[in-house]
Amino acid sequence: MKALLLRMPPDNPDPEQIEEAGRIIREGGLVAFPTETVYGLGGNALDPASSKKIYAAKGRPSDNPLIVHIAEWEALDRIAAEVPQKALMLGRIYWPGPLTMIFSKTEEVPYETTGGLDTVAVRFPSHKVAQALIRASGGYIAAPSANLSGRPSPTKAVHVIEDLGDRIDAVIDGGDADIGLESTIVDFTEDVPVLLRPGYISVEKLREALGEIRVDPGIIADNSGIIPKAPGMKYRHYAPKGTLSVVEGRPEDVIRTINSLIEEAEKAGRSCAVLCADETASSYRGKVYILGCRADEEEVAAALFDTLRQLDTDGVEYIYSEAFPSENLGAAIMNRLLKAAGHRIIHAGEESL
């Protein structure tokens, strides 16, 4: 089966094609669609068989729950058993947008969608095509990122076709994802809200809105020991096929260390490359992949997953990345980069201590 390809501008959904895609989902099929964060792989969230299909298409472990996407506030009551005041307040600021909130679920939401949990993750995306599709599909789309499990999330329709082109019914190409990193996830099932996954809405902004917020320790831990509360965060993720290491330290130490690692790898006949910011790109020997200006977090975020995929396409075996600042959106960038690297961190400069 080859996926039907539908194409439309991000801000002007085509009613006929949306109706066709909506029908596919209503009838139990799968449609990948653009959102402001990354492309999602959508099925009817209230139909257990559709959710099972999503797991099968992605090769995703079935204990890793899906996010339910809605396109109007009124849709929340049917799937969330209790929505605390704080969540309403946060939603009023950031919905529609790149925010996912976790609530206790109603009986309408099948366990197949929530990975067996009694809670449900809900997002109200701002992307016009996503909203139109959700409405045309019956109001509830379960959608994880539209990549094969473990690969970088898709920020372009071609990424989806590369991974899932022969495993799903249709792909809507609505241009590149604006943000390029998955939504911020906040759990509202405990007394104090808990950040489960950093995203475009930073912990600084959440704290401003909510006052108190805890950060799940699983977010920053390496893959050993602490188990994160968002089940998906425990899996190896976003990984390129090559071996990626993140090099931390003072800029001059990072440059020296990466250059010597590249020299070694080249001597051994390996293909290797550097992942870096624009400002330092000319300091490296060998091939460089530029994520954007160090000071422009949004540019770096939007380029990250596409660049990781490009490294695969180019067959790079060893990748050395600069670390990026970890304030604000930088926390989400470093979270994804370190996961992609399997927490392989090299501390530059320590050899000279």
| Residue written as token pair 């996912």 | 100
Q: What's the min distance (Å) between Cβ of 66 and ligand AMP?
A: 6
Indicate the residue type of 18: I
The token pair that represents 91 in the structure block: 């939603």
DSSP state of 80: B
Quick check: 196 binds ligand AMP (CB under 6 A)? yes
Restricted to residues 135-164, the positions that interact with Mg ion (CB under 5 A) are 145
Q: What's the min distance (Å) between Cβ of 279 and Mg ion?
A: 30
Quick check: 155 binds ligand AMP (CB under 6 A)? no
Quick check: 104 binds ligand AMP (CB under 6 A)? no
Beta carbons of 120 and 70 less than 8 angstroms apart: no
Convert residues 164-183 into a mask of x (bound to ligand AMP by CB under 6 A) and - (unbound): ------------------x-
Query: Exposure pattern of 286-321 as b/e (b: 16+ CB <10 Å)?
Result: eebbbbbebeebbbbbbbbbbbbbebbeeebebbbb
DSSP state of 281: G
Looking at 46-54, 75-83, 115-123, 281-289, which segment touches ligand AMP (CB under 6 A)?
115-123
Helices 329-340 and 297-313 pack at an angle, to 10 degrees, of: 20
Shorter beta-carbon distance to ligand AMP: residue 73 or 235: 235
Quick check: 307 binds Mg ion (CB under 5 A)? no
Task: Give me the half-sphere count of Cα atoms (radius 13 Å) on the Cβ side of residue 272.
Answer: 24
The residue with its CB nearest to ligand AMP is 232
Rg (Cα) of the chain, in Å, rounded? 20
Restricted to residues 219-278, the positions that interact with ligand AMP (CB under 6 A) are 229-233
Shorter beta-carbon distance to Mg ion: residue 69 or 86: 69
Q: Which residues contact 9 (CB under 8 A, 6 or more apart)?
A: 174, 175
Q: What's the min distance (Å) between Cβ of 112 and Mg ion?
A: 17
Measure the CA dihedral 39/201/232/10, to 10°.
-10
Shorter beta-carbon distance to Mg ion: residue 146 or 244: 146
Shorter beta-carbon distance to Mg ion: residue 238 or 320: 238
Quick check: 121 binds ligand AMP (CB under 6 A)? yes
Quick check: 131 binds ligand AMP (CB under 6 A)? no
Quick check: 257 binds Mg ion (CB under 5 A)? no
The token pair that represents 117 in the structure block: 């949990």
User: H or E element: which one contains 5?
Assistant: strand 4-7
Q: 100 forms bridges with which residues in the sheet?
A: 123, 185
Contact positions toward ligand AMP, by CB under 6 A? 64-65, 67, 102, 114, 117, 119-121, 144-145, 182, 185, 196-197, 229-233
Contact positions toward Mg ion, by CB under 5 A? 145
